[in-house]
């Protein structure tokens, strides 16, 4: 039996995966509540008094932690949130997790044992980091500078994550599944940057720097220290080759291939998102 007539909460519902999930659920006619600081009622990870009102009357919840399950306190927050959710009557929890992050696996375990139906979406780096996040401005400026070396990553598309999340939130066949969500092939950051340049028909330079140079560059741009620490962790620890394999989560969950990076780059280029001002 599909569950499309009871309300679904989408935490991070204005973010890269969340807003795509909200759009899809609304198109299916599923009642949706966005969980974020700008939503009504507001949901804020740092303010636990906002959690229970967000969960009231909810059947299934998509949990996208912010900023990242690897930051200190994330596992405790997810554990406490899951308890609040189950106590409020939420029956299904779908967690967005990060591939290759030990700390994220601790949060996955918390969700598996929370007492609700669960699905884990363990995602690789998103394509949309190049168009909706910290790599957008560098692409527009024509130069991507990161400490990424030659490590290949199977970038995954946020649209594929959203499709899997909606299936897990509304259909019964995904309960108890851990999906490794990746794209269909691996690319280094240099190759991904080159594919964007090809789609734009414009050269986008790629510059590989040392982690220390990258951190110094972020500091010079005034990037807050905690954001710098997270990016350093992602580029040095998570991007050490541990994720250099493709997963089969999109295929298992949806019975189709994931979106290729070049298709993402082409579509995004057509939308003008990388055009110079
Ligand atoms: N980016 C990747 O490549 C990647 C890969 C694998 C896993 N992930 C995981 O994806 C998750 C989301 O990361 P993202 O970079 O993609 O962010 P995002 O979902 O694009 O954006 C952040 C979302 O969280 C909300 N938010 C921000 N601060 C909040 C707070 N203090 N309390 C409540 N809501 C807050 C924002 O809405 P408001 O501003 O309205 O609050 C927005 O909806 C993280 O757990 C990350 O580990 C990301």
> pLDDT at residue 2 above 70?
no
Q: Which pLDDT belongs to residue 128?
A: 98
Which of 25-34, 132-141, 153-162, 234-243 shows the lowest mean pLDDT across its residues? 234-243
pLDDT-above-90 percentage for the chain:
96
Q: Which pLDDT belongs to residue 78?
A: 98
C-alpha to C-alpha distances, 7 to 55, 59, 161, 233, 276, nearest whole angstrom: 10, 6, 20, 36, 41
> pLDDT at residue 4 above 70?
no
Three-class secondary structure assignment of 66-111: CCCCCCCCHHHHHHHHHHHHHHCCCCEEEEEEECCCHHHHHHHHHH
Encode pLDDT of 253-269 as tens digits.
Answer: 999 999 999 999 999 99
pLDDT-above-70 percentage for the chain:
98
> pLDDT at residue 1 above 50?
no
- Average pLDDT for 57-71: 96
Whether the Cβ atoms of residue 211 and residue 233 lie closer than 8 Å to each other: no
> pLDDT at residue 3 above 80?
no
Q: CA 161, CA 67: separation in Å to the nearest integer?
A: 17
> pLDDT at residue 91 above 70?
yes
Encode pLDDT of 192-204 as tens digits.
Answer: 999 999 999 999 9
Question: In the structure encoding, which two tokens stand for residue 183, read together?
Answer: 């794209």
Residue 63 Cα to ligand 1 midpoint, Å, equals 10
Across the chain, mean pLDDT equals: 96
- Average pLDDT for 101-114: 96
CA angle 211, 97, 5 (to 5 degrees): 145
C-beta pairs of 24-33 under 8 Å, 24+ apart in sequence: 24/162, 24/163, 24/166, 25/166, 25/169, 25/170, 28/4, 28/166, 28/170, 29/4, 30/4, 30/5, 30/169, 30/170, 31/5, 31/6, 31/7, 32/7, 32/8, 33/7, 33/8, 33/9, 33/58
Q: CA 253, CA 161: separation in Å to the nearest integer?
A: 10
Q: What is the CB-side half-sphere exposure of residue 90 using CA atoms within 13 A?
A: 30
Residue 66 Cα to ligand 1 midpoint, Å, equals 4
Confidence of residue 276 (pLDDT cuts 50, 70, 90): confident
Count CB-CB contacts under 10 A for residue 36: 20
Question: In the structure encoding, which two tokens stand for residue 122, read together?
Answer: 């363990």
- Average pLDDT for 209-227: 94
Residue 17 Cα to ligand 1 midpoint, Å, equals 8
> pLDDT at residue 174 above 80?
yes
Question: In the structure encoding, which two tokens stand for residue 87, read together?
Answer: 């106590």
Q: Which pLDDT belongs to residue 6?
A: 81
Nearest to 261 by CA among 202, 190, 209: 190
Q: What is the CB-side half-sphere exposure of residue 155 using CA atoms within 13 A?
A: 23
Instruction: Indicate which residue's Cα is closest to atom 27 of ligand 1.
Output: 66
Q: Which pLDDT belongs to residue 277?
A: 76
Confidence of residue 5 (pLDDT cuts 50, 70, 90): low
Nearest to 95 by CA among 74, 68, 118: 118
Q: Which ligand 1 atom minimizes the distance to the CA of 39?
A: 40
- Average pLDDT for 237-244: 92
- Mutate which of 15, 50, 51, 62 for ligand 1 pocket (most atoms within 8 A of beta carbon): 15
Q: Which pLDDT belongs to residue 153?
A: 97
Q: Which helix (H) or strand (E) holds 228?
A: helix 225-233
Q: Which pLDDT belongs to residue 149?
A: 79
> pLDDT at residue 171 above 90?
yes
């Amino acid at each position: 039996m599909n569950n499309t007539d009871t309300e679904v909460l989408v935490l991070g519902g204005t973010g890269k995966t969340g807003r795509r999930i909200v759009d899809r659920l609304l198109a299916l006619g599923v009642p949706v509540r966005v969980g974020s600081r700008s939503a009504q009622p507001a949901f804020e990870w740092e303010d636990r008094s906002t959690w229970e009102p967000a969960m009231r009357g909810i059947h299934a919840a998509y949990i996208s932690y912010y900023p990242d399950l690897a930051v200190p306190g994330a596992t405790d927050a997810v554990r406490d949130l899951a308890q609040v959710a189950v106590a409020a009557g939420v029956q299904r929890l779908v967690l967005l997790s990060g591939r290759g992050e030990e700390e994220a696996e601790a949060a996955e375990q918390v969700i598996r044992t929370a007492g609700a139906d669960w699905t884990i979406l363990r995602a690789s780096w998103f394509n949309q980091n190049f168009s909706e996040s910290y790599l957008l401005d560098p692409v527009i400026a024509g130069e991507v500078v990161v400490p990424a070396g030659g490590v290949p990553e199977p970038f995954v598309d946020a649209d594929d994550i959203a499709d899997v999340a909606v299936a897990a939130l509304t259909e019964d066949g995904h309960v108890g599944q851990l999906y490794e969500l990746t794209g269909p092939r691996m690319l280094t950051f240099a190759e991904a940057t080159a594919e964007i340049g090809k789609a734009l028909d414009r050269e986008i330079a790629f510059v590989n720097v040392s982690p220390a140079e990258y951190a110094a560059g972020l500091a010079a741009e005034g990037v807050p220290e905690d954001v710098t620490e997270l990016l350093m962790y992602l580029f040095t620890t998570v991007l050490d080759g541990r994720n250099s394999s493709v997963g089969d989560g999109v295929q298992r969950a949806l019975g189709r291939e994931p979106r290729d990076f070049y298709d993402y780059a082409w579509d995004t280029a057509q939308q003008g998102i990388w055009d110079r001002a």
